[in-house]
Amino acid sequence: MSVHFGDFSDFSDWDFRQLHPAYDDLAAAQDRIRDARRRDASPTAEDLQALMRACWQRINELRHPQNPGGDRLYVLAFEGPHPYVKVGRSTDLELKSRLVKHEHDAAIQFSILFDAWVSESCPDAYPWEQRVLARLDTVVAASPHVTKMFEEYYYGLPFRQAVLAAEMEQDL
C-alpha cells in the first residue's frame, strides 16, 4: 500500500529493482525463493539451482581481489528451515574452499547459500572480524528475535544488517 503525502505517493509498494538494468539474476532468484516461502510452498529445483548459480557468480566476481595475498572478511546468508547468517574470515587462497565447506555444512541442515558479501583483501582480517562479531553480539543482547550459535552463526539476523556491521567496522 502506498502512503500519500498530499498529492505525492511515496511508492513504498513498488520494487524498483525490477525496473533497474542492474536487477540481476541473484535478486530475481531470491525473489522467487521468498515468494515460495510466503506461499508456504517448496521452491522448485530450477529456482534453487538458479539461486546457487547466481550466488556463486556473485562470489566469483567478488573473490578476485585487487591486491591479493591477504585476508578477506565474508558474510554469508543461508536460507532453509532456520535461516542464518555466518560471519567469517579467510585467506585469499582458501576463500573458495572455505565457502564451499560452509555451503556443504548448510546443505546437511537443508539450507542453501542465499546471499554473500566478500570484502576486499586486507593484511589481517582477524581484528576486523572480532569488531564485527562484537557489534553483532550487541544486536543479540538487544533483540529477542536474534540468537547466536557458536562463535559466528546468527539466527534471525537480517543479512543486510550483518553486512552493514562489517562495513561500519572496517578500518579505513
In whole angstroms, what is the distance from residue 105 CA to residue 87 CA?
Answer: 14
- Distance of alpha carbon 108 from its chain centroid, rounded? 19
pLDDT(138) > 80: yes
Looking at residues 109-137, what average pLDDT do you find? 92
Is residue 170 within 8 A of residue 128, CB to CB? The reply is: yes
pLDDT at 23: 52
pLDDT at 94: 87
In whole angstroms, what is the distance from residue 88 CA to residue 86 CA?
Answer: 7
pLDDT at 2: 44
In whole angstroms, what is the distance from residue 117 CA to residue 160 CA?
Answer: 9
Q: What is the pLDDT of residues 21-34, one digit of tens each?
A: 445 778 888 888 88
Question: Angle of helix 45-62 relative to helix 25-38, nearest 10 degrees?
Answer: 140
pLDDT at 133: 96
Length of the chain: 172
Confidence label for 43 from pLDDT (cuts 50, 70 and 90): confident
